[in-house]
């Protein structure tokens, strides 16, 4: 890993289109400003881990969700759920 | 083909977040609901129930369009999960699935925005 030392107000460039600037330093927190093209996803690393965990949780919950959906699928109100259209697909 | 009648083989060239090896999936409508099921063809034990993101957060697709994160005509689905006691359905708005039905390809976004939470409550209209 490349390690660089920067002061407040200084920046680094990553490739031709991405700039990361140290906006300010507050105690043990560093406030960064990031300029990047719109198609470049800029997210906190921990958010990637959280999304990954949620994806796995959702897979584990699929059978449970199907059971929770069953009353609507086979119940007296199921007819309205099947009336979804492109304009108003609805949760159910 | 309408969204409520969809059944298609969809490739996620980059896989899913945390599951990069899962490329090929089958997308189908859950009968008698406006929900969808996405099951990995690479590992059929992995699958999800999902809802159109606009049904969880009205206007979300428009926001993503304005930010240039999706293109016109792409579908955006939020993966549903169950959390808490009593169990409640939540939608993952931080990691929505973006599907290009014409190309039969999809990708998962990661959205850094508190308005797109990881576990958005889903209110179900009976």
**CATH code at B19?**
2.30.290.10
Residues B36-63 have a mean pLDDT of 95
Enumerate the residues of chain A whose CB falls inside 8 A of the CB of residue B55: 89-91
Angle at which helices A45-60 and A62-74 cross, to 10°? 50
Start-end of H helices in chain B? 53-56, 60-66
Q: How many domains does chain B have?
A: 1
Q: What are the tokens at B5?
A: 């009648």
Q: Give the pLDDT score at A84.
A: 40
Please report the residues numbered 6 through 65 in chain B whose beta carbons come closer than 8 angstroms to any beta carbon of chain A.
Answer: 16-19, 30-35, 37, 45-49, 51-52, 55-56
Give the C-alpha separation, A86 to B16, whole Å: 26
Contacts 24+ apart (CB under 8 A), B39-45: B41/B9, B45/A59
Q: Residue B124, exposed/middle/buried by CB under 10 A (0-12, 13-18, 19+)?
A: middle
- CB distance B35 to A58 below 8 Å: no
Higher pLDDT, A49 or B34: A49
Instruction: Decide if B50 is inside a domain.
Output: yes
Q: Is residue B30 part of a domain?
A: yes
DSSP H or E run through B28? strand B24-29
- The interface pTM score, or ipTM, of the predicted complex is 0.87
- Parent domain of B49: 3-121
Residue A88 confidence (pLDDT) above 50? no
Q: Which of A49, A55, A79, A88 is best to mutate for the B interface (most B CBs within 10 A)?
A: A55
Q: How far apart are CA A61 and CA A15, in angstroms?
A: 41
Those residues whose C-beta lies under 8 Å from the C-beta of residue A23, and which sit 6 or more positions away, are A8, A9, A31, A32, A33
**Inter-chain residue contact A90 with B125, CB threshold 8 Å:** yes
List, in sequence order, the alpha helices (H) in A23-88. 45-60, 62-74, 78-81
Model confidence pLDDT, tens digit, residues A54-80: 999 999 999 888 888 766 555 444 433
CB B80 within 8 A of CB B89: yes
The structure's pTM equals: 0.81
What is the number of alpha carbons within 13 Å of residue A72 lying toward its C-beta? 20
């Amino acid at each position: 890993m490349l390690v660089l030392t920067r002061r407040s107000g200084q920046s680094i460039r990553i490739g031709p289109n991405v700039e990361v600037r140290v906006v300010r330093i507050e105690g043990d927190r560093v406030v960064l400003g990031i300029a990047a093209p719109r198609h470049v996803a800029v997210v906190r690393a921990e958010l990637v881990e959280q999304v990954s965990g949620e994806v796995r949780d959702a897979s584990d919950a699929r059978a449970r969700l199907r059971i929770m959906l069953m009353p609507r699928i086979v119940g007296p109100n199921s007819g309205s759920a099947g009336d979804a259209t492109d304009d108003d697909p609805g949760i159910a | 083909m309408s969204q409520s009648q969809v059944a298609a083989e969809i490739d996620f060239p980059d896989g899913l977040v945390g599951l990069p090896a899962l490329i090929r999936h089958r997308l189908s409508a859950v009968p008698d609901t406006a929900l969808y099921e996405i099951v990995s063809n690479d590992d059929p034990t992995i699958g999800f129930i999902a809802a159109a993101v606009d049904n969880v957060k009205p206007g979300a697709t428009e926001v993503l369009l304005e930010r240039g994160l999706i293109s016109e005509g792409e579908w955006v689905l939020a993966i549903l999960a169950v959390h808490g006691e009593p169990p409640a359905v939540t939608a993952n708005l931080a990691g929505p699935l973006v599907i290009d039905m014409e190309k039969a390809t999809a990708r998962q976004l990661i959205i850094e925005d508190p308005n797109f939470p990881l576990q958005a409550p889903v209110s179900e209209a009976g």
